[in-house]
Amino acid sequence: MKAVTIARFGGPEVLEVRELPKPEPGPGEVLVRVAAATVNPTDLSLRSGLRRPDLPPPYIPGMELAGVVDQLGPGVAGLRTGDRVMAIVVPTRPEGGAQAEYVRVSVDALAEVPPGVTLEAAATMPMNGLTVRRAFDLLALPSGATLAITGAAGAVGGYAIELGKALGYRVIADAAPKDEDLIRRLGADDVVGRGDDVALAIRDKVPAGVDALLDAAVQGSIVLPAVRDGGQVAAVRLFQGEPERGIRIHQVMVTEYAHNGTALKELAQEAGAGVLTPRVAETFPPEEAGEAHHRLMAGGVRGRLLIVF
Ligand SMILES: NC(=O)c1ccc[n+]([C@@H]2O[C@H](COP(=O)([O-])OP(=O)(O)OC[C@H]3O[C@@H](n4cnc5c(N)ncnc54)[C@H](OP(=O)(O)O)[C@@H]3O)[C@@H](O)[C@H]2O)c1
């Protein structure tokens, strides 16, 4: 089978397609014939060596995919070959990540794709949707709470707007002028200018400070003034800065939900019900994975880049 591989760490040029043996599903696993796998910021980190797994190369990048069940492993019930599924995988596991023609997936890391959602669209949901779910579970906000989101035009930010509205939060989201329409369409109650002054702009909308802020733009301490005394921040990378005024900083790690099949099935239902809007920016054949990395590194991508098999 074809797989995108990283034989040595470096720039996008180190990505190459290799022929690898077709894997066999183990107990409690299915083999998925992958239709599409996304390219996420974490893939850039793996490829450049920032997330060096203690395993011999080549590494297969990719944390989420969608495709059809090709083979059932021992003991798997309730699924059939041909079922359309989406899944999260952790690429630092020995069998690697999502960007391959066939991928072994634990049954608690997948959900059936609802009718009306394409496999390409579905591939964009598991990792970033579960990241938002994990963040919201950590924040545990009541309906009616105020939630600010930075990086709202991105994959995490966009899903956070929609899932936050579904939970009854008042959502204040940032946007560059060119993204304002998108952010409003996703359902934000208030849109503020993005950038270093985002905290002031959020305080303008919520003078007492928001109950919580999801920092998907990874701006660190400069967002803290937006948060009320005793409020909360969900950080998607190591938070740069010191907590102040009793604000709690939660470190979101999606790997903690990599086997949360219940949450993944809820995301699938939400996509089927039109609550979540999966966004695909562009598709690439595996041989052009390096080009997809260049595109993601350049910034400004709206929707996810996909490797299609
Ligand atoms: N901890 C975890 O488990 C976990 C899981 C998933 C994601 N993440 C992390 O979460 C972050 C967001 O992921 P994503 O997939 O949503 O990325 P994304 O789709 O690239 O979105 C990031 C958004 O933030 C914007 N942005 C970047 N710098 C900004 C700044 N200084 N001010 C305002 N906006 C800024 C980007 O705009 P431009 O495109 O215009 O630059 C983009 O709209 C990444 O760092 C990712 O690694 C962590």
Q: Domain holding 243: CATH number? A: 3.40.50.720
**Closest CA to ligand 1's atom 44:** 41
Q: What pLDDT digit, counting tens, does each position of 217-228 carry?
A: 999 999 999 999
- Give the residue, out of 39, 40, 92, with the most ligand 1 atoms within 8 A of its beta carbon, to mutate for a pocket test: 40
Residue 195 Rama label (left phi>0; alpha psi -120 to 50; beta): left
Which residue in the block uniquely carries the two structure tokens 């803290």? Answer: 224
Q: What is the whole-number distance in angstroms between the Cα of residue 190 and the centre of ligand 1?
A: 20
The answer on 20 and 39 residing in a single domain is: yes
Residue 267 counted as domain residue: no
The answer on 244 and 139 residing in a single domain is: yes
Q: What is the whole-number distance in angstroms between the Cα of residue 236 and the centre of ligand 1?
A: 9
Angle 296-297-301 (CA atoms, 0-180°, nearest 5)?
Answer: 35
Contact indicator for 219, 198 with CB cutoff of 8 Å: yes
Model confidence pTM above 0.95: yes
The answer on 136 and 206 residing in a single domain is: yes
What residue ranges line ligand 1, CB within 6 angstroms? 40-42, 128, 131, 150-151, 153-157, 174, 194-195, 216-219, 236-237, 252-254, 299-301
User: What is the residue range of 156's domain?
Assistant: 128-254
Residue 268 counted as domain residue: no
> Domain holding 302: CATH number?
3.90.180.10
**Closest CA to ligand 1's atom 15:** 155
CA distance 309 to 106: 21
Instruction: Identify residue 96 by its one-letter amino acid code.
Output: G
Residue 51 binned pLDDT confidence (cut-offs 50, 70, 90): confident
The answer on 148 and 241 residing in a single domain is: yes
Residue 226 counted as domain residue: yes
Q: What pLDDT digit, counting tens, does each position of 197-252 carry?
A: 999 999 999 999 999 999 999 999 999 999 999 999 999 999 999 999 999 999 99
Give the 3-state secondary structure of 33-57: EEEEEEECHHHHHHHHCCCCCCCCC
Q: What is the pLDDT of residue 264?
A: 98
Contact indicator for 278, 271 with CB cutoff of 8 Å: yes
The answer on 142 and 118 residing in a single domain is: no
Residue 273 counted as domain residue: no
Residue 173 counted as domain residue: yes
The two structure tokens encoding residue 144: 């009616």
The answer on 108 and 85 residing in a single domain is: yes
Q: Looking at the CA of residue 300, tell me the nearest atom of ligand 1.
A: 39
Residue 271 counted as domain residue: no
- Closest by CA to 89, choosing from 105, 112, 113, is 105
Q: What pLDDT digit, counting tens, does each position of 281-293 carry?
A: 999 999 999 999 9
Q: What pLDDT digit, counting tens, does each position of 106-142 carry?
A: 999 999 999 999 999 999 999 999 999 999 999 999 9
The two structure tokens encoding residue 193: 């200018």
Kindly state the percentage of the chain with pLDDT values over 70: 100
Residue 80 counted as domain residue: yes
CB-neighbour burial class of residue 48 (10 A; exposed 0-12, middle 13-18, buried 19+)? middle
Q: What is the mean pLDDT of residues 247-270?
A: 98
Q: What is the mean pLDDT of residues 56-84?
A: 97
Q: How many domains does the chain divide into? A: 2
Q: Looking at the CA of residue 41, tell me the nearest atom of ligand 1.
A: 47
Residue 261 counted as domain residue: no
